[in-house]
């Protein structure tokens, strides 16, 4: 029993219902793991609960990375993957 995971799920359910008016069933969280959805989506739009969880998880990456790092002509092994995931998650919440 992972208390942190359960509390994160409860928190995201409350935020999505109270802040965005979107009700998400509890079962959605048990079916997906979050980061794996982002990697498989490519340029698409993520489900709301996944985008919200990843936005919270990748907030420091987004805030601490200068904007020019998002458009570098080469890929940095760890950073590029994190930036892509953060960008897709933030864009999915905007949509």
pLDDT tens digits, residue range 2-52? 888 788 888 878 887 888 787 777 776 555 444 444 444 455 677 877 888
pTM value? 0.58
Each as own residue / partner, the long-range contacts of residues 47-53 (CB below 8 Å, 24 or more positions apart, any chain) are 48/16, 48/20, 48/22, 48/24, 48/92, 48/93, 49/12, 49/16, 49/24, 50/89, 50/92, 51/88, 51/89, 51/90, 51/92, 51/93, 52/12, 52/15, 52/16, 52/93, 53/8, 53/12
């Amino acid at each position: 029993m992972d208390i942190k995971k359960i509390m994160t799920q409860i928190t995201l359910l409350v935020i999505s219902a109270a802040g965005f008016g979107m009700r998400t069933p509890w079962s959605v969280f048990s079916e997906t793991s979050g980061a794996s959805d982002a990697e498989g989506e490519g340029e698409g739009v993520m489900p709301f609960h996944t985008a919200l969880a990843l936005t919270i998880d990748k907030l420091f990456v987004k805030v601490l990375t200068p904007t020019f790092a998002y458009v570098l002509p080469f890929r940095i092994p760890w950073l590029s993957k994190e930036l892509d995931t953060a960008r897709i998650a933030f864009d999915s919440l905007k949509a």
